[in-house]
Amino acid sequence: MPLLRLAIQKSGRLTEESLELMQECGIDFNKSGGKLKASAYNFPLEFLFLRDDDIPEYIADGVADLGIVGENVIAEENGKLSAPVEIVERLGFSRCRLSLAVARGVEYGSVQSLQGKRIATSFPNILQGFLQENGVNAEIHEISGSVEIAPSIGLADAICDIVSSGSTLLSNGLVEVETIFRSEAVLLSRPNLPPAKQRTLDNLRFRIQSVNRAKHNKYILLNARNEAVSAILNLLPGMKSPTVLPLAESGWSSIHAVVQEDTFWEIIEKLRAAGAEGILVVPIEKMIV
Ligand code: PRT
Ligand code: ZN
């Protein structure tokens, strides 16, 4: 299979989980600190370690075929790239939002309150788009870091920055008033890869999907009296249909099924009410459909 080049953030919030995802996909490599490149031993993939902001352009100009970045970075770079790039997989980690915030105590009715105000941000394009959509004319101050201190030093009336837990805003006396963009890590690609590279990408995506699907599901095993089995089966969707096996003790069965994580607690309670006993819940490592 031809070699694909995947750009990963060199050192930052995306790095660890990007590399962990590759490992979960069964791709082994040796990343010894400081190097710009690494090759996988058992998959036709070469890693390039770069600053996240540079990744979309490296893909656009063909130096890399793929990259992992936060969606906020692509939304910000969009329109500035020398060629289009496309999101081929949402990866579910590094979730955050880009929000507007003002100093605590400042009156804020709606986005119209920002008319004529100064807003500090590292995301001028996304912010400009949002303000335009809302018919607001504000002065955008682009700063590259520590945006959250801008109001307290008198540089801006509001900020537009990435929020995850909200603790940075809180400790700087700021209140989130508007969410303008939601982001998670995504796999980017150049559109129209040569067919052979596309096949390698399809293979990689298949692995990523199997890993991520597994993370959202649990395998459950339980015992029940035979009379309770049909009521229990009605509660269990499963990948196909649940497995029912007789237990050594007569009159009892063991039931195995796959349950989605977000409905999990609700289902467990209903299963107990329906007569399920000895419920075991185990993580799934890969889920191939
Ligand atoms: O050096 P390089 O340019 O590669 O990295 P970087 O400093 O530009 O990016 P980095 O590593 O900080 O973030 C990479 C990506 O992680 C971002 O583009 C987002 O998609 C995503 N991400 C997820 C975050 C956060 N969560 C996050 N909390 N990026 C930044 N933050 C910062 C935010 O700027 C603010 O200062 O954390 C602070 C807020 O966090 P809370 O938890 O206090 O709300
Ligand atoms: Zn960056």
How far is the C-alpha of 163 from the C-alpha of 193, rounded, in Å? 35
Ligand nearest to the CA of 8: 1
Among protein residues, the one with the nearest Cα to ligand 1's atom 17 is 70
How far is the C-alpha of 100 from the C-alpha of 176, rounded, in Å? 6
**For the domain with range 96-182, which CATH number is right: 1.10.287.3510, 3.40.190.10, 3.40.50.2300, 3.20.20.140?**
3.40.190.10
pLDDT per position as a tens digit, 76-101? 998 899 999 999 999 999 999 999 99
pLDDT of residue 33: 66
pLDDT per position as a tens digit, 166-189? 999 999 999 999 999 999 999 999
pLDDT of residue 239: 58
Where helices occur in the chain by DSSP H, the ranges are 15-24, 55-60, 71-77, 124-133, 167-171, 195-215, 229-235, 264-273
How far is the C-alpha of 269 from the C-alpha of 252, rounded, in Å? 20
pLDDT of residue 79: 86
How far is the C-alpha of 246 from the C-alpha of 252, rounded, in Å? 6
Ligand nearest to the CA of 145: 1
Q: Tell the CATH topology of 217-283.
A: Alpha-Beta Plaits (3.30.70)
pLDDT of residue 20: 96
pLDDT of residue 37: 92
Q: What angle do CA 83, 85, 87 make, to 5 degrees?
A: 170
Let me know: does 211 contact 111? Beta carbons within 8 Å: no
- Average pLDDT value for residue range 98-115: 95
Residue type, 141: H
Residue 242 has pLDDT above 90, yes or no: no
pLDDT of residue 105: 93
pLDDT per position as a tens digit, 203-229? 999 999 999 999 999 999 999 999 999
Lowest mean pLDDT among 18-32, 193-207, 225-239, 243-257: 225-239
pLDDT of residue 289: 82
How far is the C-alpha of 58 from the C-alpha of 74, rounded, in Å? 12
* Fold match, 96-182 / 217-283: no
Q: How many Å lie between the centroid of ligand 2 and the Cα of residue 145? A: 10
To the nearest 10 degrees (0 to 180), the angle between helices 195-215 and 15-24 is: 100
pLDDT of residue 264: 85
Lowest mean pLDDT among 25-29, 39-43, 254-258, 260-264: 260-264
pLDDT of residue 261: 87
Confidence of residue 238 (pLDDT cuts 50, 70, 90): low
Q: How many Å lie between the centroid of ligand 1 and the Cα of residue 195? A: 35
Q: How many Å lie between the centroid of ligand 2 and the Cα of residue 195? A: 31
Per-domain residue ranges for the chain?
A: 4-94+184-214, 96-182, 217-283
- Average per-residue pLDDT for the chain: 94
Confidence of residue 143 (pLDDT cuts 50, 70, 90): very high
For residue 50, the cross-strand partners are: 9
Confidence of residue 30 (pLDDT cuts 50, 70, 90): confident
Closest CA to 209 of 95, 41, 90: 90
Tracing tokens 């790239």 back to the chain, one arrives at: 81
DSSP characters over 238-284: -SSS-EEEE-SSTTEEEEEEEEEGGGHHHHHHHHHHTT-EEEEEEE-
pLDDT of residue 179: 98
Assigned token pair, 289: 């459909």
pLDDT of residue 116: 97
HSE at residue 223, side-chain half, CA atoms within 13 A, is 9
With a Cβ cut-off of 6 Å, ligand 1 is lined by 9, 12-14, 51-53, 70, 72-73, 94, 96, 161-168, 183
Tracing tokens 């700063």 back to the chain, one arrives at: 143
Q: How many Å lie between the centroid of ligand 1 and the Cα of residue 286? A: 29
Q: Which residues have a Cβ under 8 Å from the Cβ of 208 and sit 6 or more positions away? A: 21, 25, 89, 91, 187
Q: Residue 284: is it exposed, middle or buried by C-beta count within 10 angstroms (0-12/13-18/19+)?
A: middle
**For the domain with range 4-94+184-214, which CATH number is right: 3.40.190.10, 3.40.50.2300, 3.40.50.150, 1.10.3720.10?**
3.40.190.10
Query: Which atom of ligand 1 sits closest to the CA of residue 70?
Result: 20
Let me know: does 121 contact 147? Beta carbons within 8 Å: yes
